[in-house]
Amino acid sequence: MLKQQLNFKLSQKLSPQQIQLMKLIQLPTQAFEQRIKQELEENPALEDGKENLDDEFDEEFGNNEYDDDEYDNDEKDTEINVDDYLSDDEIPSYRLQANNYSADDEEREVPFASGTSFSQYLKGQLSTFRLTDTEKEIADFLIGSVDESGYIRRSIQDIVDDLAFTQNVYTDEATVEKVLTYIQELDPAGVGARSLQESLLIQLHRKESRKDVSLAIDLLEKSFDHFSKKHYSKLLSKHDITEDELRDAIDIIEHLNPKPGGTFSGNTRMAEHVIPDFTIKIVDGELELSLNGRNAPEMHISNDYNNMLKGYKESKEKTRAQKDAVMFIKQKLDSAKWFIEAIKQRQQTLMVTMSSIMNYQKEYFLSGDERNLRPMILKDIADEIGMDVSTVSRVANSKYVDTPYGTKLIKEFFSESMKNDQGEDVSTREIKKILEISIEEENKKRPLTDEKLAKLLLEKGYPIARRTVAKYREQLDIPVARMRKEI
């Protein structure tokens, strides 16, 4: 049975302008400049420069509003439907995107670069070998199988099968192995290896023949498992060598490159240039915050569009074409004025948020010692400045600040809190820093286990469990005690 009923529902929806303001806030400096450039290209009523909005225009048409009487008269004379103009194709792209906005609706422009790729670089070196047509096809396929680290992480049998199915090249494992030896002679040394052990041995065989190099080769060939696990006592016994000889061999191996593909000097990878959005300086013992000037561009309304609108108002006879044109002009002016206002709101939001963070972490910014970082979560700053947590998150996750101690990502200043033995809240960043210093100062012949590190931190007033020490150590990318051992 069908029936109709009324339901009252309270909901909150963001306007297109609010959504676009949030997207502007999360943009770092370089992306923000690109966004301004895009808007200037799409909206001819918007110009960059130091001219100010005409006061007379503001008086006649108001701030982001039209003259009601003038608009009503126009609508009566020409029966203009406002909705038709708002849905016109000339609506700026950010309004259309906002109507269908989703979490995945982000800028996805990918920069490109010219230059030689890693595989092209390797293929270019094949001209130094005399290869048959079949060997050339196999070599090209092998180079295509080399990953960005420089390894071929597939079995020879799989490669033989793929050559037959995808390249129509029928061969055997012996031939592929032979061609692989040519690939492994290419630069950078170690490329084309199927394992770390093979890559290190390829690099060692290219070195001049010396006793310590021969020992290093012997260690990797016969005792790679003991070497990788740092079982030095077993290595000394098995190879009948002194500690000094082992130390020299280890030094040679440690200077090899475990990822030979990473040494390629081609220019296909786009370099990421970090442009600080803020700068913090210490002036006479006080902190001084400034916003990167590129985040505060001078924008104004085009005088040409302004004058066209004035000319229309002053004309006595208004044709339908003129009225159509003026609706287009008003729409563009409205969009331009909104964009200018959004830029100002973005500047204000950035400064208010960063100023609050700077004051909250004043001790750190004055000293540079991470142990002085206070526990701070997004809600702490959001409550202080009276904004939403998501707004603070947008600022923290994508912005950098230039400090006297280097350029830092703002989100690095946020951390959870733990209580010390005095019952005081301390930052987990402070504990991690103390943990890091403790590991740096340990005796490398007898590195501290996680359990011993936990006891050491307890002695310093930080009662944390062994598993928590292990978690922090992994977050700091520090290996376990056995892997930190040195002879």
* pLDDT score, position 324: 76
CA 157 to chain centre: 39
> What does the pLDDT read at residue 354?
93
Contacts of 17 (CB under 8 A, 6+ apart): 98, 338, 342
Fold of 116-186: Arc Repressor Mutant, subunit A (1.10.10)
pLDDT for 63: 45
C-alpha 211/C-alpha 207 separation (Å) is 11
User: Is 417-487 in CATH node 1.10.10.60?
Assistant: yes
For 84-117, what is each residue's pLDDT tens digit? 333 344 444 433 333 333 444 344 444 444 556 8
Domain limits of the chain? 16-98+274-414, 116-186, 195-266, 417-487
State pTM to two decimals: 0.53
Identical topology for domains 116-186 and 417-487: yes
Q: Which amino acid is at 125?
A: Q
Give the pLDDT score at 64: 42
Residues of the chain with pLDDT under 50: 52-113, 267-271
Q: Is there a contact between 170 and 164 (Cβ–Cβ < 8 Å)? A: yes
Please write the tens of the pLDDT for every residue from 388-398. Answer: 888 898 888 88
Please give the C-alpha separations between residue 343 and each of 33, 47, 92, 296, in angstroms, as whole numbers.
Answer: 11, 13, 16, 7
46 close to 39: Cβ distance less than 8 angstroms = yes
